[in-house]
Amino acid sequence: MSYDIPRWQKILIVILTVLSLIYSIPNLFQKDPAIRVSGQNGTVIEAATEEKVKLALERDKFAIKRLERTEGRITARLVAADQQQAAREAVARELGDNYVVSLDLAPTVPSWLTAIRAKPMTLGLDLQGGVHFLAEIDASEVRKQNVERYLSDLRTTLKDRKLSARVAESPQGISMTFKTDEDRNRAFGELTVNFLGLKLTEIPPTDAGFPIVAEIRPEEQAAAMTRAIDQNLSTLRNRLNSIGLTEPVIQRQGASRIAIDLPGVQDVEQAKRSIGSTATLEYRQVHRTVQGFEAKNSGQVPAGYRLYENPDGSMYLLNRRPIATGEQLINATSQISEDGTPAVSVTLDDIGAKKMFAFTQDNVGQPMAVLFVESIAKWREKPDGTRELVFEKRERVINSARVKEPFGKTFQTTGLGSMQEATDLAMNLRAGSFSAPIAIVEERVIGPSLGASNIRAGVMAVTFSFVFVMIFFVVYYKMFGIVTNLALLLNMLLVIAIMGFLGATLTLPGLAGLALTIGMSVDANVLINERIREELRAGSSPLASIQAGYEKATGTIWDANITALLAGLAMSFFGSGPIKGFAVALCVGIITSMYTAVSASHGFASLIYSGRRKINKLAI
């Protein structure tokens, strides 16, 4: 009998081998340490800007590979990574405040490879170096927002049902006091159906009337926290993208925390400002007749208004209901105003623009204030000696002026303390506000040298395991050891190519996952080779033994690998951080090893033995 496999399988092996080689090549090109220059406030990057950057770097004797000016930015590639920070500071001094100078890692992959989406694997924080933050969301603020939402919804519902009640916040949640027991009974039935997130309880009547206490259910509060975290995750991604931080890893951790990994980042302070800042703006009406000092001295604040006192002693009496807030901003840019002070040019969405135009049209000549709102995180000592994280809300009026003429969609806000404050505020407004304040509770920096050490150790572990296995197979299985080694090589190339093409992040646990997939691929090939030996011992011919060995081992290999794959997928979906990095590499490795162990090694064996009708002995 002759032994062969279908032609399409041979063609597929050739195609996959060529593609895996091409898509693995980008991993040979290391990124260059670089600084990136971009304009802000409408500043255009010109040839003169590039010349200034070059002069600043040459004056301080920084070794430059080359300068590139593309897509409105300049990239200066440096020779040494330890010169990045000093080079950034030198260029920033030279260019001034109208430019953003940030650290970068510039790719060196040839354009013909990037044109076909061939790119290197993304290295994780533990391999590339960078910074890790752990941020915590203010759970009390989430609960407060949830209570305020229910207060508003309950008042609206009771009003629509023509039920008169006093609705207020209580220690248990929300209290509703009705004038008659009949009204209370009717309200209880209506609210039970329409507010499933509330646990309603009737309590004995008091002098004030007939109360119902509404308590927010734990599952509803958990859902509110999930919504807050999801919005904050989106806002964080927008903020980090806006300052050019590439490939951040942002994941939920626990009930109220977010883990943020920024591989390759060395400018830690800029990242912290982007992550931790909760500043936003609110535009409010100033009381027309009563001054802030008057309300302070008399102790009487008009209904619907609140007294704000700035650190400098100035006082403002502002309407509790804002005209527009940071949530209605769609664009914001920092700039210098006509009087030479830092400012933010604001663009509102359609709803905010209509509200602003309606207010300014009706209040020409009347004052309007800009309220600057931010939350500051602090650690507070508890009576038992432990510390807890608390958030302090700070509000100050940064500007109050009379409306000269109606305006709506676009206008300018002044009164900021510095250009840096205006720049940071504009960036945060563009990215969106947090649904609840967050604070950085843990910070860990991993230097590039440690990342390089991890890479060397990980690559060495994978290489030694790979070489040892190859030697063992050649010694123990002879010719079929060579077949197995070819399948293992193709397996590694496929894993690297697929992870690079998908943009998967390779972490140190991921390297462990790769080493494990080598072992699993070895196990599959051992099964095949031992099956072939069994067939030979049973008296089958060499070619029939090869065919039977692959056919009988395939089912066992698929069962074992699919079981492991399901475990890897579970870790990938539900795990985070190191667990997820390990699981991704493991899943990709299992999928490729199933193909290379069964189909590819079968194809390599076919190339050796096909067309030969008689073989007296197999080298196995």
Chain segment 21-65, per-residue pLDDT in tens: 999 999 888 888 888 887 764 566 788 888 888 988 988 888 888
Q: What is the pLDDT of residues 419-472, one digit of tens each?
A: 766 776 676 666 566 777 787 878 777 665 556 677 777 778 778 877 888 888
The more confident residue out of 248 and 106 is 106
pLDDT beyond 90 at 560: no
Model pLDDT, residue 1: 46
Q: What is the pLDDT of residues 493-503, one digit of tens each?
A: 999 899 888 87
3-class DSSP state of 528: helix
Mean pLDDT of 203-223: 90
Model pLDDT, residue 178: 93
| CB of 295 closer than 8 Å to CB of 301 | yes
The more confident residue out of 368 and 280 is 368
In CATH terms, the fold of domain 32-106 is Alpha-Beta Plaits (3.30.70)
Sequence-distant (≥ 6) Cβ neighbours of residue 399 within 8 angstroms: 369, 370, 413, 414, 415
104: phi then psi, degrees, rounded to nearest 5: -155, 160
Per DSSP, 3 falls in state -
Q: Which of 473, 463, 490 is nearest to 602 (CA)?
A: 490
Model pLDDT, residue 215: 92
Q: What is the DSSP string of 71-121?
A: TTEEEEEES-GGGHHHHHHHHHHHH-TTEEEEEEEE----HHHHTTT--PP
Percent of the chain topping pLDDT 70: 88
Residue 299: both structure tokens together: 């102790």
Top-ranked range on mean pLDDT: pick from 79-88, 178-187, 248-257, 445-454: 178-187
Per DSSP, 287 falls in state P
Model pLDDT, residue 285: 92
d(C-alpha 20, C-alpha 181), whole Å = 77
Residue 423: both structure tokens together: 């720049």
Classify 165 in phi/psi space as left (phi over 0), alpha (psi -120 to 50) or beta: beta
| CB of 13 closer than 8 Å to CB of 598 | no
Position 187, amino acid: A
CATH for 140-221 is 3.30.70
CA dihedral sign of residues 55, 57, 62, 65: negative
Model pLDDT, residue 123: 77
User: What ranges make up the beta strands (E) of 25-70?
Assistant: 32-39, 64-70
Q: 442-464 as b/e, with b when 16 or more CB fall inside 10 Å?
A: eeeebebeebeebbeebeeebee
Q: Which of 302, 333, 330 is nearest to 316 (CA)?
A: 302
The more confident residue out of 294 and 413 is 294
The more confident residue out of 225 and 245 is 225
CB atoms within 10 A of CB 248: 21
Percent of the chain topping pLDDT 90: 11
The mean of the pLDDT values for the chain is 82
Model pLDDT, residue 277: 63
| CB of 184 closer than 8 Å to CB of 155 | no
Sequence-distant (≥ 6) Cβ neighbours of residue 3 within 8 angstroms: 543, 546, 547, 606, 609, 610, 612
Torsion of CA 148, 154, 160, 162, to 10 degrees: -130
d(C-alpha 470, C-alpha 490), whole Å = 13
Residue 143: both structure tokens together: 């609960």
Strands 505-506 and 122-123: parallel
Q: Which of 461, 462, 501, 446 is nearest to 16 (CA)?
A: 501
* 7-26+448-609 homologous superfamily: Multidrug efflux transporter AcrB transmembrane domain (1.20.1640.10)
Burial class (CB in 10 A: 0-12, 13-18, 19+), 193: exposed
How far CA 255 is from CA of 123, 198, 216, 226, 544, in Å, comes to 28, 21, 17, 8, 59
Q: What is the pLDDT of residues 101-114, one digit of tens each?
A: 777 778 888 989 98
pLDDT beyond 90 at 18: yes
Q: Which of 82, 101, 92 is nearest to 38 (CA)?
A: 101
Burial class (CB in 10 A: 0-12, 13-18, 19+), 300: exposed
Which pLDDT band holds residue 614 (cuts at 50, 70, 90)?
low
d(C-alpha 204, C-alpha 180), whole Å = 12
pLDDT beyond 50 at 358: yes
Q: What is the pLDDT of residues 571-602, one digit of tens each?
A: 887 776 677 778 888 898 899 988 888 888 88
pLDDT beyond 90 at 176: yes
The two domains 32-106 and 140-221 share their CATH topology (first three levels equal)? yes
Model pLDDT, residue 494: 92
Residue 199: both structure tokens together: 């646990």
Model pLDDT, residue 389: 63
3-class DSSP state of 427: helix
How far CA 313 is from CA of 333, 388, 399, 462, in Å, comes to 29, 31, 14, 66
pLDDT beyond 70 at 97: no
Model pLDDT, residue 219: 92
Residue 206: both structure tokens together: 């008091």
Q: What is the DSSP string of 439-478?
A: EEEEEEEE-HHHHHHHHHHHHHHHHHHHHHHHHHHHHHHT
Q: What is the pLDDT of residues 282-323, one digit of tens each?
A: 889 999 888 888 888 888 888 889 999 887 788 999 998 889
Top-ranked range on mean pLDDT: pick from 119-133, 312-326, 371-385: 312-326
Where are the domains positioned within the chain?
7-26+448-609, 32-106, 140-221, 279-418
The more confident residue out of 135 and 454 is 135
The more confident residue out of 243 and 314 is 314
CB atoms within 10 A of CB 194: 12
Q: How far apart are the first and last CA of the chain?
A: 20
Model pLDDT, residue 43: 62
Sequence-distant (≥ 6) Cβ neighbours of residue 361 within 8 angstroms: 406
Sequence-distant (≥ 6) Cβ neighbours of residue 225 within 8 angstroms: 137, 139, 142, 255, 256
| CB of 344 closer than 8 Å to CB of 266 | no
pLDDT beyond 70 at 417: no
d(C-alpha 102, C-alpha 273), whole Å = 14
Q: 41-72 as b/e, with b when 16 or more CB fall inside 10 Å?
A: bebebeeebbebbeebbeeeebebeebeeeee
Q: Which of 527, 541, 539, 525 is nearest to 605 (CA)?
A: 525
Mean pLDDT of 532-539: 87
CATH for 279-418 is 3.30.1360
